[in-house]
A and B are shown apart, each in its own frame.
Chain A
Amino acid sequence: MIYLGRIDPLLYTTMTKTLEIDIRSAEGLKINRRLIKKKKTFAVARIGDKFRTSNLDDSGGSNPTWNYKSEMPMKGSVQFISIEVFYRTRCAREKKLGEAKIPAADFMGRYSHEGHLNFLSYRLRDEYGDKCGIVNVSIVVKPNSTETTMFEASSSSSEPPSIDGYCGRIVTGVPVWRLAS
């Protein structure tokens, strides 16, 4: 996978923020393009090398509900957080089902300010790049009481970026030869 991106200068900060991530549920989970029926699944929220694991969804199936809230610190320079979904095999091993990468710009900056509850949903893709479901999360960036070095003043008068020159948007590239349509 190839990622292109530029850090938006408006959001550059050396401060560490606290994120409250609530991994709510997932839909349409598939293994090898077939909906899973009885496997139990759990989700992991990962920022850099820190991660939080959710509870196991008991009822199993392709539409699990976790409602797992956790808090994680996030450095201002982080561009992605990733949500991974695992399932437990019959031999009690844990295998990865799919992953979704959430760009930091989706819950910080342009449309959401600190303290705003963001409801987001993302497409999960497995190791081959195939679609394997949708995961629903909600993220709140907790406002810090200490000083930040964010350049907030210019954000209120900025205009939305034009379609010709997207600045600071993060793109996800998926190699074509891996996709089996």
Chain B
Amino acid sequence: MGNCLSGDVAGGKQAIGGVQQRPTSTTTNNAAQNDAVDFFFRSRGQYPLFSQIELSLSASNLIDRDIASKSDPMAVMYLRKKDGKLEEIGRTEVILNSLNPKWIEKITVSFQFETVQTLVFHVFDVDTRYHNVPVKTLKLKEQDYLGEATCVLSEVMTKPNRSMTINLHGNVGAGVTRKLGTLSLQAEETIASKTVVEMNLRSVNLDNKDLFSKSDPFLRISRLVENSIVVPVCKTEVVDNNLNPIWKPVCLTMQQFGSKDTPLLIECLDFNTSGNHELIGRTEKSIAELERLCHQREAINFVYPSTSHGRNKVLKGQLIVDHFVEKVQYSFLDYISSGFELNFMVAVDFTASNGDPRTPSSLHYNDPSGRLNSYQKAIMEVGEVIQFYDSDRRFPAWGFGGRTADGHVSHAFNLNGASFGDEVVGVEGIMSAYSNALTNVPLAGPTLFSHVVDKAAHTASQSLSQNSPKYFVLLIITDGVLTDMAGTIDALVRASDLPLSVLIVGVGNTDFTQMEFLDADKGRRLESSTGRVATRDIVQFVPMKEVHSGQVSVVQALLEELPGQFLSYVRCRNINPVGAPAI
């Protein structure tokens, strides 16, 4: 409640939509597109029956939950799953002091023609600080609830203009049912594109709108959709007290600005902490025209819409484009198809917690009737995916937690039983090596991941010195509870700067909350005991029981974070697909 007086002003002044994220962070708000999964299905002739839809949200007449100022609203979008539970898809940003917010951040969802997709929206008033805090780490329980609304995606898509307004309802604890306002959705199909435009904008000679100081200008760029519907695309940060502001570079993807000839509305506004920003001037230009302005070193004057004569007043204030660069952002598939190799490595849990392999209840049970046990099922399902992406089908395979021939417990022994050479060929190679190892290696303990992670990191770092374009993925198939969390975190942090991803597949019914902690999806970076923080999130956790209950396909679960982790590695090092021209 500390910010209920005026809200987090610094948070309201930050740039939205045009900012290039930290290169090591993965993308947000995109529940639709996963290159790796699409490619896998398309190669089998299964073409996706969906299209990517981008939703822009706005609301009006929200209730005021803050005492001396207005609410700072944020909307969260959920998808209602078959069992009734809500799965969060994305969040908009927080807008300062506004009861009629028009959010800039879009949420992408895949519109599947044959299923009924129920979307649920919750609107919150954010009271905690949000300046420079990634929106997805904001805890919803700490915010004030402003209302919720439900709709079906196909309904939005079939309306004219693809837009719909729904009423907010809900229990806000006021005791009296008041009108909670309305929520409007605008749906658009997204364009898969790779072009990214970066511009340096500045202005001179702006009008002064503040009384005792100068204006605090910022730019808001919107796209004009058909029938004069305006969709905000991005806003720059606020420059205080300056009539000749220079803003930080704005980075827009073609998805945001449509095409190079789509007219964009650029408004220059004066920031007010009350939320009512005053318009200083506006202009309409397309990206192609802005590029021309930059190359010819021209400036464009802002106009102020005037109602009296019907003609707009041309102001002295001008917009200047200092720098204009068009870049190409390659996708995961561009890298793979250009020759970037994905190398998979497999590690199987041989600890005693699985149960004696001779008892039928054990996860390692060798059923004489030929039924596959949990591990074999997991290997088969996962193997299909990894065989597709690993072109040479040679996988290093290890076991951990078993007692090898020399009597010691080894935490990274070769599954094929050979002293040198840990590779097996194909999924059938993994299966036969696994069955052999089951008969030869007694189960022991404890469950330690750090040795196999270190081994995988060693392999990845060796390929670095050979300068070949390879990316490594370590698959750990385990039954559960990890004994040395600290050691594993240390090993993962050490490996976080390498071209490596770790996929942990959980079989059995144990409580996997520890693994969720390693997955670091809530935005917390892993920290080792030496004080080093992980450079990027390289872990992904897949519980097999969710796959088997039909909620998510194994392909989807395994490959969900892989393209993001891969791109975060190559983009921050400016590695291009093999043979592509350097930017």
Whose C-beta in chain B lies nearest to the C-beta of A156? B462
Contact yes or no, B465 A113, CB < 8 A? yes
Residues of B close to A159: CB separation below 8 A: 458
User: A32-50: which residues lie under 8 A (CB-CB) from chain B?
Assistant: 35, 37
Contact yes or no, A120 B530, CB < 8 A? no
Contact yes or no, A122 B531, CB < 8 A? yes
Contact yes or no, B129 A119, CB < 8 A? no
Complex partner residue of A122 from B24, B457, B495, B532, CB under 8 angstroms:
B532
Whose C-beta in chain B lies nearest to the C-beta of A106? B532
Contact yes or no, B494 A111, CB < 8 A? yes
CA A119 to CA B493, docked complex, whole Å: 12
**Smallest distance from the beta carbon of A66 to chain B beta carbons, Å?**
14
CA A25 to CA B435, docked complex, whole Å: 50
User: B525-583: which residues lie under 8 A (CB-CB) from chain A?
Assistant: 525, 527, 530-535, 572-573
In the complex, whether A70 has a CB less than 8 A from a CB of chain B is: no
User: A107-148: which residues lie under 8 A (CB-CB) from chain B?
Assistant: 110-113, 116-123, 125, 134
Could you tell me how many residues of chain A have their Cβ less than 8 Å away from some Cβ of chain B?
32
Contact yes or no, B10 A123, CB < 8 A? no
CA A155 to CA B531, docked complex, whole Å: 26
Q: Which of B30-38, B187-195, B447-455 is found at the contact surface with chain A?
A: B447-455
Residues of A close to B455: CB separation below 8 A: 160
What is the total of A-B residue contacts with beta carbons within 8 Å? Answer: 73
Contact yes or no, B533 A37, CB < 8 A? no
Known contacts A111-B497, A113-B464; is-contact A63 B532 (Cβ 8 Å) = no
In the complex, whether B372 has a CB less than 8 A from a CB of chain A is: no
Contact yes or no, B411 A63, CB < 8 A? no
Q: Mark B324-336, 1 if CB is under 8 A from A, else 0.
A: 0000000000000
Residues of B close to A101: CB separation below 8 A: 531
Residues of A close to B460: CB separation below 8 A: 111
Residues of A close to B301: CB separation below 8 A: none
Whose C-beta in chain B lies nearest to the C-beta of A27? B132
Contact yes or no, A61 B531, CB < 8 A? no
CA A106 to CA B462, docked complex, whole Å: 15
Residues of A close to B573: CB separation below 8 A: 117, 119
Residues of A close to B24: CB separation below 8 A: 119
Residues of A close to B465: CB separation below 8 A: 113, 116
Contact yes or no, B454 A122, CB < 8 A? no
CA A176 to CA B535, docked complex, whole Å: 27
Residues of A close to B258: CB separation below 8 A: none
In the complex, whether A162 has a CB less than 8 A from a CB of chain B is: yes
Contact yes or no, A110 B461, CB < 8 A? yes
Known contacts A121-B525, A121-B532; is-contact A111 B129 (Cβ 8 Å) = no
Whose C-beta in chain B lies nearest to the C-beta of A112? B461
Residues of B close to A134: CB separation below 8 A: 525, 533
CA A26 to CA B24, docked complex, whole Å: 14
In the complex, whether B487 has a CB less than 8 A from a CB of chain A is: yes
CA A5 to CA B457, docked complex, whole Å: 23
**Smallest distance from the beta carbon of B454 to chain A beta carbons, Å?**
5
**Smallest distance from the beta carbon of B21 to chain A beta carbons, Å?**
12
**Smallest distance from the beta carbon of B455 to chain A beta carbons, Å?**
6
CA A121 to CA B497, docked complex, whole Å: 10
Residues of B close to A122: CB separation below 8 A: 531-533
Whose C-beta in chain B lies nearest to the C-beta of A114? B465
In the complex, whether A170 has a CB less than 8 A from a CB of chain B is: yes
Complex partner residue of A61 from B10, B462, B464, CB under 8 angstroms:
B10
In the complex, whether B131 has a CB less than 8 A from a CB of chain A is: yes
In the complex, whether A62 has a CB less than 8 A from a CB of chain B is: yes
**Smallest distance from the beta carbon of B352 to chain A beta carbons, Å?**
19
**Smallest distance from the beta carbon of A3 to chain B beta carbons, Å?**
11
CA A118 to CA B496, docked complex, whole Å: 10
Contact yes or no, B457 A163, CB < 8 A? no
CA A46 to CA B132, docked complex, whole Å: 28
Whose C-beta in chain A lies nearest to the C-beta of B237? A59
CA A14 to CA B266, docked complex, whole Å: 60
Q: Apart from A111-B458, A121-B532, list 10 A-B contacts with CB within 8 A.
A: A111-B461, A119-B572, A120-B532, A121-B533, A122-B532, A123-B532, A123-B533, A134-B533, A160-B455, A171-B530
A-B contact pairs, 6 of them (CB 8 A): A110-B458, A111-B457, A111-B460, A111-B464, A122-B531, A122-B532
